[in-house]
Structure 1
């Protein structure tokens, strides 16, 4: 099975690197500078689950893609999605499966419109990783999983074949028959975490220490849950248990990666994570009063406006 990993950043580089380390047929679609760096230093992973330096990893540039691949593993930032699509489009053939690991759901609409619903799977990943100054992939905790499946539900031969490729590749791989629900569950959690930590510019523990911190998090979580239910994907008891453990732990240092992006004056996925959630409904106006979710989104859009004018 030929697997094309779009980019060799923190997420794609980690999972693609583990697949390559396990002997799978993996090619990384990269820009010339990254291709040169990988040729010189190799693909380097620093991880509690085991370090790796992979020499002679296969790379390809957008203008030298040599025909269709069986799987395209996509893990770019949402604001790079259009550029990513343009780069890997020549790799998509009649039987190619596109497996995106982006958060939210907007990218699914974009990909299915471009390539057809039959070529797009649902997917999500759980990992905390970054690139250090040497462009090495640094895995920040011991969580590293990919969950995927057919958007229409059920199992299929292609999902089973991809699962077979991922088994034994050094990370947790889960082929499921309800991937849209799991994508919504993650979206609700991530939107709550991003809204709370970005709006307060603080970690969960710091927010909970404030006079109304718990109420703010509870309010955001309730609004995000309402959107999921409005779209036919109400979160279940298992989600509630995990969310309560993570979002309401006193002293927790947890923040959303979006807050780290804000603090680094970097681009953010405000439209993809919060704006699209609001647009899909369940945004109560309460007699004209702005919802907490919309206030958090406005906060992030103001940040983007300030970044755009170089302030």
Structure 2
């Protein structure tokens, strides 16, 4: 089986290193300084409290890549998907599969299964309909990853001891197919426990309820979750965001049990994690907030749920994102 990692950033480099070390035929698609570092030294993996490990990988540019791949792990951010859609599909074998590892909810959320909103379009995720046109859903698997990887330099990643790692993958139509279980087994053998789920939308929401809170708040405050919950006022905002987010989930058929006090306690000692949005702000990259924040606000409008706190936080993220784009460089404590 020929495997491609499309987007060798933090998650892509980590997954590529695991699959390469397990002997799979895998290539990592990268560019610029990241490509040069991967070709020269492979992936340097630093686990918290342990010596770093170098894993040789086969890294190529888009121009150097040739042939079709049976399995493509798409680890781009959701904001990059539309621009890359044609390229991704051009590299996919006729019976190949794309595993879409992005934070937040997917553009195909209301496709593939019966629901009150079947066929509804989420304009913030696919405003021009590019993904709907270019990405064949019969070859798409949704995915949710729990592995807080940070890229510290080109070719170098850091994994803190925050939570047990896990990957969940599922078919758009919620079927437990043979290909789904085969891919789950392959990734599990490589060292990342992987579950084939019959409800990928629920799995997406379960992680989104963490990303919906901590990605925006960490970005705006330039702080890890443990520092945020030390503020009573900020802790109140966390609770309001969780309750509003779970209300939107219920409105589309996903009943999540949320416990704001338990969530505050869970992160109380988490003083080192830098969620992906915070990494983007500090690196001067556009923030990936459509699939995490704006999609929930759009769903709330569709289903008639009031989300005043989420809308306020979304507004602040919008201004922050505009500032990052306008300045063209990273902002935050690390750059002061």
Given that 1:193 and 1:247 are in contact with CA atoms closer than 8 Å, whether structure 2 keeps it comes out as: no
Aligned partner of residue 95 in structure 2, secondary structure: coil
2: CA distance, partners of 1:3 / 1:272: 26
How far is 1:81 from its partner? 1.8
Tell me the equivalent position of 1:67: 67
- Using the size of structure 1 for normalisation, the TM-score is 0.85
Match for residue 281 of structure 2 among 240, 259, 262: 262
Number of aligned residue pairs: 302
Tell me the equivalent position of 2:295: 276
Match for residue 117 of structure 1 among 137, 146, 158: 137
Given that 2:185 and 2:194 are in contact with CA atoms closer than 8 Å, whether structure 1 keeps it comes out as: no
Distance 1:162 1:112, change over 3 A: farther
Match for residue 301 of structure 1 among 311, 318, 336: 318
Q: Trace 1:142-157 onto structure 2 (pairs within 5 A).
A: 143-157=164-178
Is structure 2 residue 177 aligned with structure 1 residue 176? Answer: no
Distance 1:225 1:41, change over 3 A: same
Aligned partner of residue 150 in structure 2, secondary structure: strand
How far is 1:248 from its partner? 3.9
How far is 1:201 from its partner? 4.7
Given that 1:198 and 1:296 are in contact with CA atoms closer than 8 Å, whether structure 2 keeps it comes out as: no
Tell me the equivalent position of 1:53: 54
Aligned partner of residue 275 in structure 1, secondary structure: helix
Tell me the equivalent position of 1:8: 8
How far is 1:100 from its partner? 0.9
Q: Deviations over 1:171-220 (max 9, x none)?
A: 21112222221011111221022344445554444443434333211111
Aligned partner of residue 268 in structure 1, secondary structure: coil
Match for residue 148 of structure 2 among 128, 144, 150: 128
User: Aligned-pair RMSD on alpha carbons?
Assistant: 2.7
Q: Trace 1:244-259 onto structure 2 (pairs within 5 A).
A: 244-249=261-266, 250=268, 252-253=270-271, 256-259=275-278
Distance 1:211 1:44, change over 3 A: closer
Q: Deviations over 1:245-266 (max 9, x none)?
A: 3334545536643234335543
- Using the size of structure 2 for normalisation, the TM-score is 0.79
2: CA distance, partners of 1:62 / 1:194: 30
How far is 1:47 from its partner? 2.4
Which is further off, 71-80 or 292-301? Answer: 71-80
How far is 1:309 from its partner? 3.0
How far is 1:4 from its partner? 0.8
Which residues of structure 2 form unaligned runs of 5+?
Answer: 110-125, 329-336
1: CA distance, partners of 2:253 / 2:102: 20
Given that 2:46 and 2:158 are in contact with CA atoms closer than 8 Å, whether structure 1 keeps it comes out as: yes
1: CA distance, partners of 2:143 / 2:39: 30
Which residues of structure 1 form unaligned runs of 5+?
Answer: none
Aligned partner of residue 255 in structure 2, secondary structure: coil
2: CA distance, partners of 1:11 / 1:208: 27
Tell me the equivalent position of 1:226: 247
2: CA distance, partners of 1:179 / 1:122: 6
2: CA distance, partners of 1:116 / 1:68: 16
Tell me the equivalent position of 1:40: 40
Distance 1:42 1:262, change over 3 A: closer
Tell me the equivalent position of 1:98: 98
